[in-house]
Amino acid sequence: DTAVSQTPKYLVTQMGNDKSIKCEQNLGHDTMYWYKQDSKKFLKIMFSYNNKELIINETVPNRFSPKSPDKAHLNLHINSLELGDSAVYFCASSPRDNNYGYTFGSGTRLTVV
């Protein structure tokens, strides 16, 4: 049973398109995140949500819009895709108590052509 699952695993799309990535966690965690990993493997936080509320928005272009319908789901919608959006996007969750224990999904490789 996958703890943090993302779909799709691979996404190839043309510039200008709009696409969504879905994330679900079955760990009962209160906080979920989106991280972006570039071609040099650098991981950087984009957003975090705590119990459906936006906590962190790390100066991400407003073409990126996260949505959390409930605390087990955090989806990422991207409008007007650009070449520079090509990366691997990771969803993660955390219980936000004394034992932080971030758990990451397996990633979505987005390629914009």
Per CB under 8 A, residues contacting other proteins are: 4, 31, 33, 40-45, 48, 50, 55-56, 58, 90, 92, 96, 100-107
59's enclosing H/E stretch is none
17 vs 106, beta carbon nearer other proteins: 106
Given the structure tokens 């004394």, which residue do they identify?
98
CB of 103 to other proteins, least distance (A): 7
Instruction: Indicate the residue type of 41.
Output: K
Q: Which is nearer to other proteins, 58 or 82 (CB)?
A: 58
Of residues 10 and 80, the one with the C-beta less far from other proteins: 10
Q: How far is CA 68 from CA 33, 55, 71, 73, 104, in A?
A: 10, 12, 7, 6, 17
